Amino acid sequence: MTKLPAQLGSLKLVSQLGLGRQCQIWEALDGTTRQRVAIKVIVPEAAKDPAQRKLLEHELKVAKSLAHPTVIRIDRLADDSGLPHLVMELFPHPNLKKQISEGVDALAPRLQRIVTETALALDHLHARGWIHRDVKPDNVLAASDGQVKLIDLAIAAPKPGLLGRVFGSKGPVQGSPSYMAPEQIRGQTVDARADIYSFGCVIFELLAGKPPFSAPNSNDLLNKHVSATPPSIETLNRNATTSISKLIRQMLAKNAAERPASMQEVLKQLRTIRFFERASS
């Protein structure tokens, strides 16, 4: 992979925070404002691909329609040295995937806040007319006190209108195989309940240390989401309450109509249940 220049316009690259197939995430120092920011920059090999720039333009459009402390703020799209990049708020904390890999027991004391704030982020997204479509631990940054930021709005889609809800519409299958709702896998029109399913997978993983389904290849994994019964969280975390287990089962229902109808409903339940039988230290 071609190395990035040390400077993009007024932005001096400081340290790499993340790496994707087509983009890199960096902490940078803005020489004009003297502020520390994060940038999402297309790698040089893909910089001339108009599809990659459109993804950044779309992500900026979605972000500009949002305003919530649990959603990452994106300020602008710039293009320096032929490298399109988003300039965004810096939240210098690891994503949940990394933290889960280090052991879920360490997450337990702040788990309620992490889950509640992520639900608030998704509820705000839905209220502003968007479905995230890629809810997964990699896309939630979490501080040591449990404060979170939802990130990566690149494949967010508008909430379907009445005709879309009634008749449905086939579209390209997008998302991450370990967290996709059955209707998303089938390429059907998705609404907030697809994010609720994915979020159920995330809560499951935060408690169990692994997603509800695993398989040797993507096809088998997707088939499990469509037809297999997820294991009970209580068999994987004996400290999990029957209340959180019941909520996860509802969120992971194969039929979207059997899930909570909105993130508001999920939040209502989250505020009245305990996650653990014994308090975590």
HSE (side-chain half, CA atoms, 13 Å) at 61: 13
CA angle 104, 109, 115 (to 5 degrees): 75
Catalytic residue among 75, 105, 134, 195: 134
Percent of the chain with pLDDT over 70: 94
Q: In the CATH hierarchy, which top-level class contains the domain 7-88?
A: alpha beta
- Residue 173 pLDDT: 66
**The pLDDT of residue 89 is above 80:** yes
User: What proportion of the chain, given as a percentage, has pLDDT over 90?
Assistant: 89
Q: Does 210 score more than 80 pLDDT?
A: yes
Query: In the structure, what pLDDT confidence band is assigned to residue 20 with cuts at 50, 70 and 90?
Result: confident
What does the pLDDT read at residue 167?
Answer: 37
Q: Give the pLDDT band of residue 28 (cuts 50, 70, 90).
A: very high
- The gap between the terminal CA atoms of the chain, to the nearest Å, is 44
In this structure, what token pair is assigned to residue 111? 């788990």
Give residue 133's pLDDT: 97
Are 218 and 202 in contact, with CB atoms under 8 Å apart?
Answer: no
Alpha carbons 29 and 131: distance in angstroms, whole number = 32
CA 47 to mean position of chain CA atoms: 24
Q: What is the pTM of this model?
A: 0.93
Active site residue 145: no
Token digits of residue 267: 């939040």
Q: Tens digit of pLDDT for each residue in 40-84? A: 999 999 999 999 999 999 999 999 999 999 999 999 999 998 999
216 — pLDDT class (breaks 50, 70, 90): very high
Q: Is 60 exceeded by the pLDDT of residue 190?
A: yes
Pick one of 1.10.10.10, 1.10.510.10, 3.40.640.10, 1.20.810.10 as the CATH number of 96-270.
1.10.510.10
Q: Among 8-17, 149-158, 165-174, whose mean pLDDT is lowest? A: 165-174
Q: Where in the chain is the domain with CATH 3.30.200.20?
A: 7-88
pLDDT at 203: 98
CB 281 within 8 A of CB 109: yes
Residue 160 has pLDDT above 90, yes or no: no
Q: Which regions of the chain carry the CATH code 1.10.510.10?
A: 96-270
Rounded to an integer, the average pLDDT of 187-213 is 97
- pLDDT at residue 279 in the model: 75
Integer Cα distance of 69 and 14 in angstroms = 25
